[in-house]
Chains A and B, each alone.
Chain A
Amino acid sequence: NAGVMQNPRHLVRRRGQEARLRCSPMKGHSHVYWYRQLPEEGLKFMVYLQKENIIDESGMPKERFSAEFPKEGPSILRIQQVVRGDSAAYFCASSPRTGVSSPLHFGNGTRLTVT
């Protein structure tokens, strides 16, 4: 897990504020995934990005959520105007390439609490 770095580990926001979650993939990995885990549930896919491109955002809510993975710097998951239902653990994962034999490597997550 140490290879994928996520920060902050914990984030508290009031309703209506913005949340920014950052993820630096493992060295040499150019593919980033964001997953969300709600309490008592499994991991739900949100978005898959490569450098400067969103490849698959079919799991992202249509409003308030956005993601980017710029040429330089970490991937950012941005949640605007947070609501209590956004409280969850958000995990980032990376892989070196797409392909059948490439597992995802996860960070330790950001736990977002909306008060």
Chain B
Amino acid sequence: DQQVKQNSPSLSVQEGRISILNCDYTNSMFDYFLWYKKYPAEGPTFLISISSIKDKNEDGRFTVFLNKSAKHLSLHIVPSQPGDSAVYFCAARKDTGNQFYFGTGTSLTVIP
């Protein structure tokens, strides 16, 4: 049962434009959400997180938006750079749990 879903396996964006990666979840007990970036042959690297008490968190070019009523979060990257090309995973955790549940990832390609 996939509790965190990334329905777009891939996304291509022109350099300088905005990249929007989406993630949906099914469990209303999740209250901590994260985005990770992964290059081939490397482990996931933590990018940005948000707790359920917020609806937006920003860190440089990266902004995460959380819509709890829709059980949806998104990652905005602006402006996109070729070095952003990677697989992006969203993840979520319940406040009482130990597990982080990961989506299946979205492969982002930023075209120079």
Interface residues in chain A, defined as those with a beta carbon under 8 Å from any beta carbon in chain B = 1, 4, 6, 33, 35, 41-45, 48, 55-56, 58-59, 91, 93, 98, 100-101, 103-109
- Chain B residue, CB-CB nearest to A91: B43
Shortest B86–chain A CB gap in Å is: 13
Binding site for A on B (CB under 8 A): 6, 31-32, 34, 36, 41-46, 49, 51, 89, 91, 93, 95, 98-105
| CB-based A-B contact count at 8 angstroms | 61
Q: What separation, in Å, do the CA atoms of A98 and B93 have in the docked complex?
A: 11
Q: A106-B44, A107-B43 are in contact. Are A55 and B49 (CB under 8 A)?
A: no
Residues A43 and B89 in contact, CB atoms below 8 Å apart: yes
A4 to B91, CA, bound (A): 19
**CA A45 – CA B4 in complex, angstroms?**
13
In the complex where A55-B98, A98-B98, A103-B34 touch, is A42 in contact with B43 (Cβ < 8 A)? Answer: no
A101 to B51, alpha carbons, bound, how many Å? 8
Query: When the two chains form the complex, which single residue of A42, A104, A105 contacts B104, counting CB atoms closer than 8 Å?
Result: A42
Q: Are A56 and B98 in contact (CB-based, < 8 A)? A: yes
> Do B44 and A43 have beta carbons less than 8 Å apart?
yes
**Which label, helix, strand, loop or mixed, suits the secondary structure of the B interface?**
strand
What residues on B are CB-neighbors of A6 within 8 Å?
43
11 residue pairs of the A-B complex, CB under 8 angstroms, read: A4-B43, A33-B100, A41-B104, A42-B6, A43-B89, A43-B91, A91-B44, A93-B43, A100-B51, A103-B46, A104-B34
In the bound complex, what is the Cα–Cα distance between A107 and B46 (angstroms)?
11
Which A residues are in CB contact (< 8 Å) with B32? 100-101
Q: How far is the CA of A102 from the CA of B95 in the complex (A)?
A: 11
Asked whether B43 lies within 8 Å of A45 as measured between CB atoms, the reply is: no
Distance from A103 Cβ to chain B, minimum over Cβ atoms (Å): 4
What residue of chain A has the Cβ atom nearest to residue B36's Cβ?
A106
A93–B99 Cα gap in the complex (Å)?
Answer: 12
